[in-house]
Amino acid sequence: MKVALVFYSETGNTLSVAELIQAALKARGHEAVLQRLVPIGEVHPGVKDVKFESLPDLAGYDRIIFGSPVQAFSLCPAMSSYLSSAPSMDGKMAVLFLTEGFPYPWLGGNRAMAKMENLLKSKGAAVKRAGIVHWTRKDRPKQIDSVVVSATEDIIA
Ligand SMILES: Cc1cc2nc3c(=O)[nH]c(=O)nc-3n(C[C@H](O)[C@H](O)[C@H](O)COP(=O)(O)O)c2cc1C
């Protein structure tokens, strides 16, 4: 199975989870390609129209994992901007994960997840949520394991 992992990461946390999911998929014999969103210039919360160095190439990928950090109590502007102007995702399955600084999902994670899900559904994708990793929690390793297992199982189901 061919899987694309489309993610944004400012300080490396979301990247590290994306890499673990990629490794888990590869260990099960699947092709998994990381496609990082790299904005042009600095992006601050509140910015709406983010431009990217290049856009993900999703031709040939019907299964896509999207990963993003929470910023300013919502979905970060880079992912929000990318998904708002992304092409149709008709027929594609999307599995979502987030990383969040605060320890509880009501401090931005729930809102960010709902926004990411709604944007993808508006593009026609079938959406599943793999979960949120709360970066400052003591049980972060357990949360990472759970998100990696869910994302891997959900995308190949
Ligand atoms: C500009 C900015 C805003 C942030 N706002 C929030 C927030 O509102 N709620 C939260 O839980 N974490 C917030 N964080 C923390 C990040 O969500 C968290 O550290 C995340 O894991 C970073 O992922 P990354 O390293 O892939 O960029 C913020 C981080 C940055 C840089």
Q: Can you tell me the distance from the alpha carbon of 135 to that of 141, in angstroms, rounded to the nearest whole number? A: 9
CATH number reported for the structural domain that contains residue 57 in this entry: 3.40.50.360
- pLDDT per position as a tens digit, 113-147: 999 999 999 999 999 999 999 999 999 999 999 99
| Mean of per-residue pLDDT scores for the chain | 96
Residues lining ligand 1, CB < 6 A?
Answer: 9-15, 45, 69-73, 99-102, 107-108, 135
CA 60 to chain centre: 19
* Domain of 59, in residue numbers: 2-156
Burial class (CB in 10 A: 0-12, 13-18, 19+), 45: exposed
For the chain, the domain total comes to: 1
- Give the percent of the chain with pLDDT over 70: 100
pLDDT at 46 over 90: no
Task: Provide the pLDDT for residue 47.
Answer: 86
Give the predicted TM-score (pTM) of the model: 0.98
Burial class (CB in 10 A: 0-12, 13-18, 19+), 99: buried
What's the 128 CA to ligand 1 centre distance in angstroms? 22
